[in-house]
Structure 1
Amino acid sequence: MLISGGKRGLKGAPFRVVTGHGKFVLPFFRKTRFLTLAMHEAEITESCVTRQGIVLTVRAVIAFKVGNDNESIVNAGQRFLSEQHQMTVLTGRIFSGHLRSIIGSMTVEEIVTERQKLATEVLATSKTEMGKIGLIVDSFQIQSIDDGDTGYIEAMSRPHKAAVQRQAKIAEAQAAQAAAEAQQEANRNQAEYERQTAVVRASYQSEVDRAQAEAAQAGPLAQANSQREVLAARTELAERAAQLRQQELVAEVVKPAEAEAERIKTLALAEAERTKIQAEAAASYDRVALDQLLIDQLPQIVKEAATGLSRANVNVLNGADGLGEIAAGLVGQGLTILDTVKQNLHGTDGANGTPPEAPASAPTPAPQPRRSDDGPVPLA
């Protein structure tokens, strides 16, 4: 907002500047006008001659606006406040002059290849003039460069086109080769994949066939295993039955036979012991009977001895005592004979049943009766 009348503005400007807020203005005494601070756009199309004398048609676009500072606003207001559309016209003219000047110092090759450099130089040379009128440029862009019918740019571009085409063909050939190699690699990979797939499929099929064969054999194998188990069970049952029968036979035959043999043996031993006892008893009885017989015969033996003595011519010197001694001698002789007979009859060798050997010393002979011519009989 530009307020004119009354007090002057900055540096003697004919108006005061108000931006970003309102202001109280006395009517009839002050005049208020507005200057836009929005962005403006200007397009230029200029025929320029290069340093080589080649005419080029250049199209460009300029983006500009009034500066935000009070000095720029005052400068722009003094020039464009009444006719603000003239800012676009004046800006176009300024940039057109500087564009022709800079293109005239450059070659077509430089302009075409260094377009950004051209725009930067034009913008730098125009900045000072634009600041004097209160405008600032945000951007300057060259849209197109055309040489008309001369064909210079076209001829200039042919080597590059040829190189580009050559590079394009090379790149295309390389791309085709790479594509072919990639296709071959893909085919190899596909073949390898198919081979691996076939191997895996064959392995799976082999496993399936083996599983099916095992499944087909499972029934007979299971039946054979079952029959084998049944036979094993029957064999074990038969062995147990045989063992049981053997135990029964042992219990029914062997044990009774052993018991009977033991009984017979015991009875035989008992009978032998009884016979032995009876034999011993009988032997003892015979000895007793023999002894009794000998004892019974002893008087007869003594008698016979006495008979013999009566026939002898015996003189008894010591009377009754001498006679008793003779009798005692006869009796002792009889007893000795009795013992000898008993030993011959009863005494045997335990080993071979032979009679025992004769005693080491002969029995003492009975005293002989003395005759009358032997002298007197000694007294006992």
Structure 2
Amino acid sequence: MFGYRVPAPDEAMLVSGGRRGLGGAPFRVVTGHGTFVLPVFRKTRFLSLAMSEAEVMEKCVTRQGIALTVRAVIAFKVGNDRESIVNAGQRFLSDQDQMSVLTGRIFAGHLRSIIGSMTVEEIVTERQKLATEVLDTSKAEMAKIGLHVDSLQIQSIDDGDTGYIEAMSRPHKAAIQRQAKIAQAQADQASVEAEQVAARKQAEYARQTAIVRAEFDAEVDRAKAQADQAGPLAQAHARREVLAAQTELALKQAELREKELIAEVVKPAQAEAERIRVLAMAEAERMKIQAEAAASYDRVALDRMLIDQLPQIVKEASAGLAGANVNVLNGTDGLGEIAAGLVGQGLTILDSVRKNLSGKDGAVAGSGTALEPYTDRGRPSDDDGPVDIR
């Protein structure tokens, strides 16, 4: 907007031409906000509040009379308070570059003064003390011109060709070199010991590794041998099982064949042997009978005669039963029993006759006299009543 002015964040706007500022300042100080400025009647200028730098390189003489060239860097800026802005504005507003020049000159003077009261050893070894003393002595003077020093750094200290600092550092260098050599020797010894320990550990590791490797190889060899033997063992086991199965099958086949042979050969052979034995016994019996017949022809003739008369005896006995009162209780079985009884009676009679005849000193044998025919003496009479033949 026309007539409205705003300063930058690192600037202070100084407005002159109107009423005076606070504290009797010839201008008003505006920071951090804008304000209306009447054209023609008011005049506006800007003062930088940013950080600035001043470099100092000054030859100084120490309390020992040794000339030193000291190089330092100062970081400063205009103070943030209104009084510092007013003081700096009145001195540097028209030429703000003069702030660095004036600051360098101020610090160069204080640096010469303070170094003149110190020795080279103190300056070299206590640089921070030197910087602090320079800042403390320059602080009030810098505040008067509205500047605030943030830091002072002593960058270098040079004694030129005198070699004082070098000579001063030689004992320390020698001590440092001795310490360095000792440290190096200790480091070398520690390195050797470490190498020896590492070598022992490596040897132990190699030994343990060899043992483990040997055990592993042995285990692998055992596993391989077992694996190699597993095939033949399995084959032998399989063959053994096959042989056992074949043996069992052969036994079963032998048992079956034995049964077949018994059925096909032994039984028929036993039957044939039995048949032959029976035939042989029959033949032997026949031979015996023939021998006995040859030895006693007369007895054979008598037996033959009796046998020839047997049917007649049975006939006569059955004729005697013709008129008998016989009750048959069990049907056809009863009739069969009657017939069998007749035959049995005939055989009994025949046997009795044969015994009687054979007991008369052979009188009958060879006589050729025929037996008397069977009469009614042995036949039961009708007066005897019914005969119950079971």
TM score, norm. by length of structure 2:
0.60
Q: What RMSD, in angstroms, separates the aligned Cα atoms of the two structures?
A: 3.1
Count of residues in correspondence between the two structures: 262
One of 86, 89, 112 as aligned partner of 2:101 = 89
What is the CA distance between 1:44 and its match in structure 2? 0.2
One of 35, 41, 45 as aligned partner of 1:29 = 41
| 1:78 matches 2:83 | no
Residue number in structure 2 paired with 1:43: 55
Residue number in structure 2 paired with 1:149: 161
CA distance change for structure 1 residues 227 and 26 in 2, over 3 Å: closer, same or farther?
closer
CA distance in structure 2 between the partners assigned to 1:243 and 1:51 by the alignment: 137
Residue number in structure 2 paired with 1:199: 211
CA distance in structure 2 between the partners assigned to 1:7 and 1:28 by the alignment: 15
What is the CA distance between 1:112 and its match in structure 2? 1.0
One of 209, 223, 237 as aligned partner of 1:225 = 237
One of 53, 58, 62 as aligned partner of 2:65 = 53
Instruction: Flag structure 2 segments of 5+ consecutive residues without an equivalent.
Output: 1-12, 268-390
Query: Aligned ranges for residues 1-380 of structure 1 at < 5 Å?
Result: 1-237=13-249
What is the CA distance between 1:136 and its match in structure 2? 0.4
CA distance in structure 2 between the partners assigned to 1:90 and 1:223 by the alignment: 111
Instruction: Flag structure 1 segments of 5+ consecutive residues without an equivalent.
Output: 254-380
CA distance in structure 1 between the partners assigned to 2:32 and 2:232 by the alignment: 105
Residue number in structure 2 paired with 1:337: none
1:331-352 CA-to-partner distances (Å, cap 9, x unmatched) read xxxxxxxxxxxxxxxxxxxxxx
What is the CA distance between 1:208 and its match in structure 2? 2.6
Identical counterparts, % of pairs = 79
CA distance in structure 1 between the partners assigned to 2:224 and 2:45 by the alignment: 103
SS in 2 for 1:35: strand
Write the letter of the residue equivalent to 1:65.
K
CA distance in structure 1 between the partners assigned to 2:20 and 2:224 by the alignment: 112
CA distance in structure 2 between the partners assigned to 1:228 and 1:10 by the alignment: 125
Write the letter of the residue equivalent to 1:164.
I
CA distance in structure 1 between the partners assigned to 2:118 and 2:225 by the alignment: 92
What is the CA distance between 1:76 and its match in structure 2? 0.6
CA distance in structure 2 between the partners assigned to 1:82 and 1:227 by the alignment: 121
CA distance in structure 2 between the partners assigned to 1:180 and 1:146 by the alignment: 43
Residue number in structure 2 paired with 1:362: none
Higher CA-based Rg = 1
What is the CA distance between 1:241 and its match in structure 2? 6.6
SS in 2 for 1:221: helix
Write the letter of the residue equivalent to 2:170.
R
What is the CA distance between 1:246 and its match in structure 2? 9.7
